Structure formats: C-alpha cells, structure tokens
Structure 1
Amino acid sequence: MERYLALQKILETGGFTKAAKAMGYSQSSISQMIASLENELGIKLLTRSKGGAHLTIEGERIYPDIEKLLASSQAVKRKAADIRGLNDDVIRIGTISSITCHWMPQLIQGFQKQYPNVQFVFQQGDYSLIPEWIRSGKVDCGFISPVACGELQYDLVKSGEMLAVLPEKHPLASADRVSLEDLAQEPFLELEEGSYSEIMEAFKKAGLTPKVKYRLHDDYAIMTMVEAGLGVSVLAKLILDRTSFRNVCLPLNPPVSRTLAIAYVDKEELPLADKLFIKYLLDHKEDLP
C-alpha cells in the first residue's frame, strides 16, 4: 500500500523530491517504490519533465482504481481506530423492566465478548419517559413500542404474546383462554406504560372499559397484588417467565401482542458503540426469549 501512497503523494506535490520529503523517505526510495509498482503492474505510470511528474495515458486509466483502493484502505484504518477507541465508551439505554431482566443480561454478555470494555447505563421508564429521554439526550437509544416513537427513528426488534394474570383460585383460572370481556368485569390492575398501552388499546378496540382499580409502574408489584387477590391484570409473557408467584397465566381471546423497537434520534449521529450494539441486537434478536 505504501507504493500507492507514494504515487498519490508524487501527484499531489508534483515531484519525487517533494513527495519523499513529505513522506519521510529519501528520493531514491520513492523512485524504487514507483519502479517496483510499475514492474508489478507491467505498465509505465509516470513521466518526468521539467514541469514535474505526470501520469502516462496508461497511468490515467488505472489511477481512479488506485484512488478507490487507497480510500478503502483509509476507511478500514478509520474503522479499526474507532473500534480501538471503544475502551471507555458507555452505552446509555432507556429500558422497561421486562427488557432489563430478560434481554439485557444475554445481550450484554454476548456484546462484551467482542467489546469487553464497553459499559452500559440503564434508565428504566415507560413509553412516555423513554422517548423524552432520547430526544433530550439523557439516553442514546431506548426500547419502546413503535407506536410511541413519534418522529424518532427506530428498528423493529421483536413481538411477544401478552397473557392474562389471575390469582390461583380465581373462577377463570381453570379456563383455557380468557376473553377481554371477562377481564373487563374484574377489578383490573393496569401497568402504567405512559403514552401507549397495548392492552388498554385492545380493550378500546373491543369497545370495552376495564374496571381499573390500581395503576402501577412495576410489573412485579402487579404480580404481587394479583397473588394477594386484589385483581387481575395482563402482562407481557416475557416478564411472566421465570417467576415464582402463585398466579395463573393464560392466553387471551382474542390474542394481544406487544411489539418492541429500539429507537433513537438519528442512527448516523449515534456514537460508534451504540451503532455496534444496535447491530448486535438486530443480528441476534431471534435468539432473545
């Protein structure tokens, strides 16, 4: 590659002597580089005159490809420099509790095998707070429903089922599925998700108004209250996996799902560490529970 750089520098400076000085070589070394390159390619690249060094006709034909090769080489070096610069980078992510508990450990473990020194900072919020944090720069990116993204850019990640959550001894606990109509008749514990709620939207589309008894921001608090017999709820299947609450979780009729996206203001403006994490996330999303 140094020989191509020497050729470029000769054309930039107009001569062998100036190119040698700029690159820190002797003039004879630069001359040997060009002679070696011409021998390898089998064509004469340069002519010398009192006015300086110029491309031959053959050189003019091949030089655009040499410029592309040099540009690609520089891009690779810049990318390597960026990656080496990840040592102290921090990725700031807005999350919801189910993602924090069930996706992030797996994602961090895999990502840090490639970039061991990158650190993560989480801000746990909802579909109103997280978009605000992204816009204000408090976080770089965040997991939210695409419906809550507004003008933010996003990549879809994954959809997951939502389940009815009932006390063990509830009359509906023995059913195969639970209808929204049945849930609308029960004291309902709503997960406060900010500007958008998948289950409340499902009730609205069905023309139903649930009897909301409590609104809470924490999934686990809702599971505790359902276990105590204070009402029923609907939560994402993801958060209901690997819990030990004495509740019954059943599919809904009709089914209700939750779709999550990773959102940001402008992907091109994100720090390199965030771009690499988002790529890793999207490449491995099928492995997520």
Structure 2
Amino acid sequence: MTLLTYQVFKTIAEAGSFQKAADRLGLTPSAISHTISSMENELGFSVLTRSKSGVSLTNYGEKLLPYVNGVLNSDESLQQMIADLNGLKQGKVKIGVFSSVCTSWLPEILHSFRRKYEKIEMEVFQGTYEDVFLWMKRGVVDLGFLSVSSAKDIPIVPLYRDPLLCVLPKGAKKESPGESIGIEEMKHHQFVTQRDSTDADIQNFLKENSLRVQSNYHVVDDLSTVALVEKGFGICLMPELVMRDIPYDVDCYLTEPRASRIIGLAVMNPEFMAPAVRTMYNHIIKNYQEEEFRN
C-alpha cells in the first residue's frame, strides 16, 4: 500500500463519503473507490461499510485508523525534518483544545506563532477533554491542551493554575462576590451539571468533598449551564477561565476548600516530535507557562 492509499482511507473516515473525500483530495470518486477496493483486497478484510446514508468504518477499520494516522504523521515528520535541515521552518501542526482555552488563549497563541513562523500551517480541533484525549491517542492531533487530571497516561507539561468558582444567581448569597462558599452551603442548593467528560476536575471536586449533587438539568456547554444558573434553576461550579467569557449576570465565589484545575500542554511522545510540532510546543511553553511551573 502507498501513502496515497493511507491518505484516501483517512480522508474517507473523516469526511464520511467518497464524494467529499474526492473533493478534498482532488481525485475522482471512481479513483477513491478503486483505491479502497485495492486496499481491502490487499488486507483481506473490509475497512468501510457503504450505505445510503454514507460511509462508516468497520470494526477492522476502526482498529486500523490509528496506525494509518501514525504512518501519515511519520511521513509528515520526515518531510518537516528535511525542510528543517534545508533551513526552512515549515510543516503543519494539529492542535486539540477545549472550549475555554480556545476562546481565551488560542487566538493569541496562533497570532504570535504565525508572526514568527509564517510557513508553518496550523489546524485546530475543538472538543471536550475526552475528545482531545482520544484525538491524541489516535494521532488526529499532534499537541493537546488538557487539564493534568484528564491527561491520564499522556505526558503533560503544566502551564496554568485555574481556580474553581461556585456560580450562583445574582444576589442569592448575602456575602459579596469574591468571598468563599463552603461545602455545607452548597449542599442546600440544586445544581446544574455537565456530563463527566466535559470537566473532569469539577467531577473530582464533587467526589472528593462527598458532594452528591441533586440536579434535573444536565447540559453540555458552559453558556447553557450559566444561563440556567442566572435564571435561578440552580448553582454550578466553573473554572475561572471559563467565567471570563460568560456574558450572564451571576455571582462567583471561591470554593472552600480551595480547588483548581491545572491546564497543561500534552504530547504523546515528548522525545519524538516533528520539527514544526516541537517549534510550536516550545513556543507555547516559553511564552505561556506560569512562573510556578517553570523549572
């Protein structure tokens, strides 16, 4: 099989159709179909399931995809190393981010990086902690922003300590915002909660403090959560970085005991990064790591 075969397979997996893959790669649908047929004949099993609604991966295809991504990423690393040896800073970096990093940090990171390295292309994938973790495991992204607790077995460099806040409807607590709120007081409130994969650090705080929250409202995104709090449907826990971008009129209090998430930059293999990836990795750590985490 050739690199083109792997690229065709990966593109179909991402696009979900032969036609879209053909458009992205500048090939005809028949060429795409022929490439996959030849691949399946050589492998001895099917990698795609065709249906009226589109194309999806078979179980074999799902297992094969991370290895295909690995081959393509290795080829990209080789091309970047050759360019690097020739004195050209070029290549491509794929970055996985969760929402608050995407809105608060990423625009400045991309802008400052592009000013220095115009020839390095950047691609951004936004999702939850779980999304970023899986993208890294499958080779979809080169670098990923995660909290230290959600990185699991992926090596991660801490960058920033982000305090957790308890968010209440405006005026629901007599003390001024900026003061603290304790566990016992939180227990008397209804909660608006998010699914576990959305913010593992909040889930950890609840478990560590035996906070068995009662909630009729289970949402996914931060804006929806705080919007429900503003209208009096409950309280929630949110990282401070999230609340910088929230337009709703609510009160925020530090938790007692104090808690925080630590945001870091993760990479699957710190010892082996393509030149463009390492350049971005070093740029972020040099310019955006807080003093307390510097060696």
Q: Is the 8 A contact 1:190 1:214 kept in 2?
A: yes
Q: Determine the structure 1 residue equivalent to 2:60.
A: none
Identity %: 20
Secondary structure at 2:197 match in 1: coil
The 1-side partners of 2:225 and 2:86 are apart by 44
1:178 to 166, 176, 181: 181
Q: Determine the structure 2 residue equivalent to 1:71.
A: none
The 2-side partners of 1:99 and 1:82 are apart by 34
Q: Determine the structure 2 residue equivalent to 1:248.
A: 251
Letter paired with 2:234: G
| Max Rg structure | 1
Q: Determine the structure 2 residue equivalent to 1:143.
A: 145
Deviation at 1:242, TM superposition (A): 4.5
* Coordinate RMSD, CA, aligned: 2.5
1:261 aligns with 2:252: no
1:115 aligns with 2:133: no
Q: Is the 8 A contact 1:94 1:141 kept in 2?
A: yes
Q: Is the 8 A contact 1:92 1:123 kept in 2?
A: yes
Measured at CA, do residues 79 and 90 of structure 1 come closer, stay the same or move farther in structure 2, by a change above 3 Å? closer
Q: Is the 8 A contact 1:126 1:193 kept in 2?
A: no
Deviation at 1:80, TM superposition (A): 4.9
Q: How does 1:145-224 map to 2 (within 5 A)?
A: 145-171=147-173, 174=176, 176-194=179-197, 197-224=200-227
Q: Is the 8 A contact 2:191 2:215 kept in 1?
A: yes
The 1-side partners of 2:163 and 2:119 are apart by 35
Measured at CA, do residues 271 and 166 of structure 1 come closer, stay the same or move farther in structure 2, by a change above 3 Å? same
Letter paired with 1:207: S
Task: Tell me which stretches of 4 or more aligned residues in structure 1 moved more than 6 Å.
Answer: none
The 1-side partners of 2:145 and 2:174 are apart by 33
Secondary structure at 1:211 match in 2: coil
Q: Is the 8 A contact 2:159 2:290 kept in 1?
A: no
The 2-side partners of 1:273 and 1:217 are apart by 33
Structure 2 runs not aligned, ≥5 long: 1-80
Measured at CA, do residues 270 and 216 of structure 1 come closer, stay the same or move farther in structure 2, by a change above 3 Å? farther
What's the TM-score once normalised by structure 1's chain length? Answer: 0.65
Letter paired with 2:237: V
Measured at CA, do residues 218 and 81 of structure 1 come closer, stay the same or move farther in structure 2, by a change above 3 Å? same
Secondary structure at 1:91 match in 2: strand
1:100 aligns with 2:102: yes
Measured at CA, do residues 149 and 287 of structure 1 come closer, stay the same or move farther in structure 2, by a change above 3 Å? closer
Measured at CA, do residues 195 and 174 of structure 1 come closer, stay the same or move farther in structure 2, by a change above 3 Å? closer
Structure 1 runs not aligned, ≥5 long: 1-76
What's the TM-score once normalised by structure 2's chain length? Answer: 0.64
Q: Is the 8 A contact 1:172 1:178 kept in 2?
A: no
Q: Determine the structure 2 residue equivalent to 1:235.
A: 238
Q: Determine the structure 2 residue equivalent to 1:281.
A: 284
Secondary structure at 1:187 match in 2: coil
The 1-side partners of 2:101 and 2:86 are apart by 28
Secondary structure at 1:164 match in 2: strand
The 2-side partners of 1:115 and 1:83 are apart by 12
Name the count of aligned residue pairs.
210
Secondary structure at 1:268 match in 2: coil
